[in-house]
Chains A and B, each alone.
Chain A
């Protein structure tokens, strides 16, 4: 009988010993992890887009838990996530202005032409290196779609040679803003407002030559705006979203139809 019981006891004993040692070790040598950090990480969307400026959601959660970051930096999460993180940290979220990306160009194939036939690497960044881009307008969208590739939410598509953002899908992560070599993409608040869809910095006659809808800096909108929200800098109009009330007066006077109302 001893021949059977002893090995069983021995193996079972060593097994139990190992188990107990491991259990004790895991308690004694547990690496303390911040509970807040885990909670915050659960709240964050997990897109790891980096819009907050940290290395992914884990990095942002760690920084928040240590008090090194402010809640509300998470663009995809928006107000809901900001409120949730602020609640975990025991403060108020404040007001978070949700933003969407806008491509400041109307240079579709109907309005402007390409000066060359580009057959190189399928990338705006690469095309931009070749003599300042492939389009007639040096400042306009080339429509190759670096922003489309950068968008994790399928919110951007290139249609008729110009990139367009679908505001209902845009989470405001700013990945496309970083991807555009022409710096055409900008974040605007979610509200009814006028937006100038042209960023051409050339003088009027030059713009007229390359595009049917380019801003020539004629100052009509500046004079019309009741709020003083528009200024012309480098020969194109810039609307200040914080001042714009969305009255539409500027859009009526714009001779080039590059000012448009945006309502999301």
Chain B
């Protein structure tokens, strides 16, 4: 577990295993809040924040509470419960002590309480058998990957707005076509990280 392998995990989480464009998790915010660049960024920063913290909390609970008791099948139920409570708790704390950050994250914090990308990262790091540090780095990388995808797509959508598109394709159809093309373009990173760092 040296720096190189951590960097490989981090980069892989952003490029080759991007949660939105490769695993197709978190599609609702990807299509929902990617209309403007600033809302997309706000949402993504909140996702990074929640991904790291929920991984930090759920990983020990899984390893030290569920596994010794042979209850790993409760993973999904408990993780949803814990993440929801955690986000709510963080919101209360932020409101009181860091109101500037609270205002910056705004309504996105409660919105991503039950986001599938957040639940996905907490479960997939365990499936992969990563240790605690690796899991945290993976969570951070996935969050940044979410940010990258959101920012790229928000930029594309802002441009799409000004294009002369046939009437029957306007709105969601073009958005979906653009999303799939963006996902295909990310396939180009396949094998890149492995080739570079492993």
| A and B associate in one complex | yes
| A-to-B contact residues, CB < 8 Å | 6-7, 10-11, 14-15, 18-19, 21-22, 25-26, 29-31
Do A29 and B88 have beta carbons less than 8 Å apart? no
Give complex CA distance A26, B91 in Å. Answer: 10
Do A21 and B69 have beta carbons less than 8 Å apart? no
Q: Rank and list the top 4 A-B pairs by shortest CB-CB distance, nearest first.
A: A18-B85, A29-B96, A25-B92, A29-B92
The proximity string for B residues 71-91 relative to A, scoring 1 for CB distances below 8 Å and 0 otherwise, is 100100110011001001100
Do A11 and B78 have beta carbons less than 8 Å apart? yes
Query: How far in angstroms is the closest Cβ of chain A from B136?
Result: 22
Give complex CA distance A141, B89 in Å. Answer: 58
Query: How far in angstroms is the closest Cβ of chain B from A26?
Result: 6
With both beta carbons as reference points, the residue of chain A lying nearest to B93 in the complex is identified as A29
Q: Which of B88, B89, B95 contacts A31 (CB 8 A)?
A: B95
Give the chain B neighbours of A31 by CB distance below 8 A: 95-96, 99
With both beta carbons as reference points, the residue of chain B lying nearest to A15 in the complex is identified as B81
Query: How far in angstroms is the closest Cβ of chain B from A9?
Result: 11
Do B93 and A25 have beta carbons less than 8 Å apart? yes
Give the chain A neighbours of B95 by CB distance below 8 A: 29, 31
Give complex CA distance A22, B95 in Å. Answer: 13
Give complex CA distance A10, B99 in Å. Answer: 35
Q: Which of B91-105 contact A (CB under 8 A)?
A: 92-93, 95-97, 99
Interface of A is mostly: helix
Do A11 and B81 have beta carbons less than 8 Å apart? yes
Do B92 and A6 have beta carbons less than 8 Å apart? no
Query: How far in angstroms is the closest Cβ of chain B from A57?
Result: 19
Give complex CA distance A30, B96 in Å. Answer: 7
> In the complex, how many residues of chain B place their beta carbon closer than 8 angstroms to a beta carbon of chain A?
17
Do B85 and A22 have beta carbons less than 8 Å apart? yes
With both beta carbons as reference points, the residue of chain B lying nearest to A6 in the complex is identified as B69
Query: How far in angstroms is the closest Cβ of chain B from A216?
Result: 53
Interchain Cβ contacts within 8 Å, total number: 39
Give complex CA distance A18, B83 in Å. Answer: 10
Do A11 and B69 have beta carbons less than 8 Å apart? no
Give the chain A neighbours of B78 by CB distance below 8 A: 11, 14
Q: Besides the contacts A6-B69, A10-B71, A11-B74, what 13 more A-B pairs have beta carbons closer than 8 Å?
A: A7-B71, A7-B74, A10-B65, A10-B69, A10-B74, A14-B82, A19-B85, A22-B85, A22-B88, A22-B92, A29-B96, A29-B97, A31-B96
6 A/B residue pairs, CB under 8 Å, sorted by A: A7-B71, A7-B74, A14-B78, A21-B89, A25-B89, A29-B95
Give the chain A neighbours of B71 by CB distance below 8 A: 6-7, 10
Do A18 and B82 have beta carbons less than 8 Å apart? yes
Give complex CA distance A14, B82 in Å. Answer: 8
With both beta carbons as reference points, the residue of chain B lying nearest to A26 in the complex is identified as B92
Q: Which of B77, B89, B99 contacts A11 (CB 8 A)?
A: B77
Give complex CA distance A199, B21 in Å. Answer: 64
Give complex CA distance A19, B89 in Å. Answer: 10
Give complex CA distance A208, B14 in Å. Answer: 75
Query: How far in angstroms is the closest Cβ of chain B from A181?
Result: 30
Do B81 and A14 have beta carbons less than 8 Å apart? yes
With both beta carbons as reference points, the residue of chain B lying nearest to A17 in the complex is identified as B85
Give complex CA distance A25, B96 in Å. Answer: 10
Give complex CA distance A57, B77 in Å. Answer: 43
With both beta carbons as reference points, the residue of chain B lying nearest to A27 in the complex is identified as B92
Give the chain B neighbours of A14 by CB distance below 8 A: 78, 81-82
Give the chain A neighbours of B88 by CB distance below 8 A: 22
Query: How far in angstroms is the closest Cβ of chain B from A185?
Result: 35
With both beta carbons as reference points, the residue of chain A lying nearest to B88 in the complex is identified as A22
Give complex CA distance A29, B96 in Å. Answer: 6
Give complex CA distance A29, B69 in Å. Answer: 35
Query: How far in angstroms is the closest Cβ of chain B from A27?
Result: 10
Do B69 and A22 have beta carbons less than 8 Å apart? no
Q: Which of B126-183 contact A (CB under 8 A)?
A: none
Give the chain A neighbours of B77 by CB distance below 8 A: 11
Give complex CA distance A166, B96 in Å. Answer: 48
Give complex CA distance A114, B101 in Å. Answer: 55
Do B96 and A21 have beta carbons less than 8 Å apart? no
Give the chain A neighbours of B93 by CB distance below 8 A: 25, 29
Give the chain B neighbours of A26 by CB distance below 8 A: 92
Query: How far in angstroms is the closest Cβ of chain A from B61?
Result: 8
